[in-house]
Structures are given as C-alpha cells and as structure tokens.
C-alpha cells in the first residue's frame, strides 16, 4: 500500500480486536543498544504485532519492497508531507530523510492492530509530545528504554560490530551518555543482558499493558 493510500485509509474508523484497545509500543535505546534486534525478536514472537513502515528518501536496497520495508519517496514528496505536518516524527540520517506518517500509525491502530516502533531517544520524545496533543495516541502509547548495564558494555558491543572507526565509536558513546540520561522519561527500563532475557522482559511489558483497565474492553454481563 502506498503512503498516499495509507493516509486516506486512516481517515476511517476501525474496529477493536481481541478485547482491548490496541497499543503503540515504542522501543528506544542508545546506538548499539540492541533496539533493532529486540524489535525483530518481538515481531517473531508476537505475530499479532505489526511494524509501522517508515518513509525515506534513500534509494531502495536490493530486495527491499516499497510499502513493506519502507515507503520510498523523492525529496520533494517527503518535504511536502513534512510541511503539511503529516509526520509523527522525522529525522535526517547520513543525508537521507526518514519519517513515520501519523496516518500510518493511526490507520493500523484503528484496524485493531498493535503497532511497534523502534526509534531513537529524540524520536521517542517527539512522539510523546504528539501523544499529549492526541488522545487516541496517548491511550495507545507505551514507551520502553533498553540499555546495556554500563558504557563499557556498550563500547564492547560497538567494537564487536566492526562498523565504526575508534573515533566514531567514541562519538557514539558520547551521544549515548546523553541518551541514557533520558531513561526516566520512559514508561519502562530494560537493562539489557541477553537477547532471550531482553525478549522475556519485553513480552511481559507488552502483555501487562494489554490488560490495563483503560485499554481493556470489558465483557458484557
């Protein structure tokens, strides 16, 4: 489905499913903290959760599908949506623009689907702010911060990836210190240990949030 069709579809009201109001789950972490891995593991473990598709101005990589991996937009189309206030949050990374359409998220929530987003700390802050202005988003929103137990552990992970120079790693660690200081702004904090343990904690959070009275559709007696 194209970004334009997603925007049009979100205008219609959807339905509740599974006896609860759907969730918008945000996972955030410092660079190298494991948020992408945790997102992938949660999607495999809980197929009822769907990932929100991001818009980007970069070119598709081999095997990537428009509407599945990303919505691929030219710079002009992206700017038009940005100026219209269509994005829930957006960022520029290595010269390319990325953004999550509000209509993409609301369209899936209104169809009764739980939505998962993996964003950086700044993106999470923007979404929290937007949720304060939108009761539908506020009711759905759950934020989780994932972090290693120390900067030393994070440094080891970044070095093990082998993607960055020593100077780049130090720059990432400097930013990470600032990001980790924001953990108090999230609903939950997971101190990362292993992938299975991080996933266990994440599933516990997900299942507990689904049972909150404010999100549960009570049975009729």
Domain contains 130: yes
User: At which residue do the structure tokens 């020593």 appear?
Assistant: 166
Q: Where are the beta strands (DSSP E) in 31-185?
A: 49-51, 54-56, 70-72, 87-93, 96-101, 114-118, 141-147
Contact 127, 89 (CB under 8 A): yes
pLDDT, tens only, 86-116: 999 998 877 899 999 999 999 999 999 999 9
* Whether the predicted pLDDT of 52 surpasses 60: yes
Sheet holding 96-101, edge to edge: 70-72, 54-56, 96-101, 87-93
Residue 135: which CATH number? 3.40.50.300
Domain contains 194: yes
> Domain residues for 140?
8-52+113-210
Contact 146, 29 (CB under 8 A): yes
126-132 mean pLDDT: 94
Domain contains 1: no
Query: CA angle at residue 206 from 68 to 176, to 5 degrees?
Result: 75
Domain contains 98: no
Contact 147, 184 (CB under 8 A): no
- What integer pLDDT is reported at residue 205 of this predicted model? 98
Domain contains 57: no
CA distances from 157 to 29, 30, 193 (A): 13, 12, 12
User: At which residue do the structure tokens 């197929």 appear?
Assistant: 47
* Whether the predicted pLDDT of 2 surpasses 80: no
User: Where residue 165 falls among pLDDT bands split at 50, 70, 90?
Assistant: confident
Q: What is the mean pLDDT of the chain?
A: 88
pLDDT, tens only, 10-40: 443 334 444 678 999 999 998 888 899 999 9
């Amino acid at each position: 489905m194209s970004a334009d069709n997603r925007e049009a579809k979100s205008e219609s009201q959807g339905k509740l499913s599974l006896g609860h109001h759907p969730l918008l789950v945000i996972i955030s972490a410092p660079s190298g903290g494991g948020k992408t891995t945790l997102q992938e593991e949660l999607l495999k473990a809980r197929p009822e959760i769907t990932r929100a598709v991001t818009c980007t101005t970069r070119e598709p990589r081999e095997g990537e599908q428009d509407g599945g991996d990303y919505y691929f937009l030219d710079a002009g189309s992206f700017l038009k949506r940005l100026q219209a206030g269509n994005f829930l949050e957006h960022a520029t990374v290595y010269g390319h623009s990325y953004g999550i359409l509000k209509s993409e998220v609301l369209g899936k929530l209104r169809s009764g689907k739980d939505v998962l987003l993996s964003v950086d700390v700044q993106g999470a802050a923007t979404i929290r702010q937007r949720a304060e202005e939108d009761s539908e988003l506020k009711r759905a929103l759950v934020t989780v911060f994932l972090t290693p137990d120390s900067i030393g552990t994070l440094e080891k992970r970044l070095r093990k990836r082998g993607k960055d120079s020593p100077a780049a790693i130090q720059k990432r660690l400097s930013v990470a210190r600032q990001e980790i200081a924001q953990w108090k702004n999230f609903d939950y904090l997971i101190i990362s240990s292993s992938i299975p343990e991080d996933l266990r904690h994440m599933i516990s959070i997900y299942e507990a949030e689904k049972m909150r009275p404010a999100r549960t559709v009570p049975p009729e007696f």
